Amino acid sequence: MNIATFTRSRTYEEAVSEKVQPISKSRVQFDLTPRAMALLTELKSKTDAATYAEVFKNAMKLYDGIISEIERGSEFLIRDKDGKVSEFRMFL
């Protein structure tokens, strides 16, 4: 179908509206300690995130990826500035 045929059969807006589905969202509210809020603010600044929500979403993706790798038996290794390699342990 060429563009002329497309525009005669339906408008662009009609075509787009058929494909765009509203995204279901959930609102979450939680309280942070001053220390946790300071960390969130610092991470927002260090990552140039536009919002706290962006920091949180990125952190969730990273956490999910780490958990998935650990479940597969992967290890996380850290090489320090002197070249020494050691296992990275957080709280798992």
Average pLDDT over residues 24-33: 91
pLDDT tens sequence across 34-57:
999 999 999 999 999 999 999 999
Q: Is this prediction's pTM over 0.85?
A: no
CB contact at 8 A, 66 and 54: no
Beta bridge partners of 85: 79
**If pLDDT is split at 50, 70 and 90, which confidence band does 32 have?**
very high
The encoded tokens of residue 23 equal 């995204």
- pLDDT tens-digit series, residues 65-90: 988 998 999 988 999 999 999 998 87
**The token pair that represents 28 in the structure block:** 């979450």
**58 within 8 A of 49, measured Cβ to Cβ:** yes
Distance between CA atoms of 90 and 74, rounded to whole angstroms? Answer: 14
pLDDT band at 6 (very low <50, low <70, confident <90, very high): very low
